[in-house]
Amino acid sequence: MNVAKRTDNLVTRGGAEDIRLRAAPESWDPETREMDLVWSTGADVTRSDWGGSRWVERLSMDPKHIRTERLDLGAPLLDSHKSYGAANVIGSVIPGSVRIEGGLGIARVRLTDAEDVASTVRKIVDGSIRNISVGYRIHAEEVSARDGEIEIRTATDWEPHEISVVPVPADARAQIRELERTTA
């Protein structure tokens, strides 16, 4: 197996080329307008470029490989990675809530009560929209391939910078976060 390291500070993943994960309507708290998200499981996702080249992208979930500071300072929760206007912000990450737990990237977000995005927020709260996607930048990756097999690119230094609500996930292993419930 050939293993190579590549460092490229200009590689950015987002939009249609990012990891998509599920939101957790079961964790919705209507009083605080907060809910928990799983923003990455590190699952393999097959990618391709305009030239037809294909590879498997894998995000390392080793906490030492993820620069979470930007996300944990209160990154935006966007509608489908639309970062070109404030009207596309449907919430934000609650500062200090980002963590890596059991190989999952988890955060708590607060949804806005702004009228201009009320329809999108309602779809999240009622469970119609359950998929979440993380926008990120890869700073370094390891590339490995066996002869005749598809190349695997493992991000070993990457930085999530936003979370988005999206209609279709790429990461089928993403799990819904639920609040622990107790009965009296």
**Would the pTM of this model clear 0.85, i.e. be above it?**
no
Hey, what amino acid is at 134?
V
User: In terms of pLDDT, which residue wins out, 92 or 16?
Assistant: 92
The more confident residue out of 176 and 151 is: 151
Sequence-distant (≥ 6) Cβ neighbours of residue 93 within 8 angstroms: 71, 72, 74, 75, 76, 77, 107, 108, 109, 163
- What's the mean pLDDT in 34-45? 89
pLDDT band of residue 21 (cuts 50, 70, 90) is very low
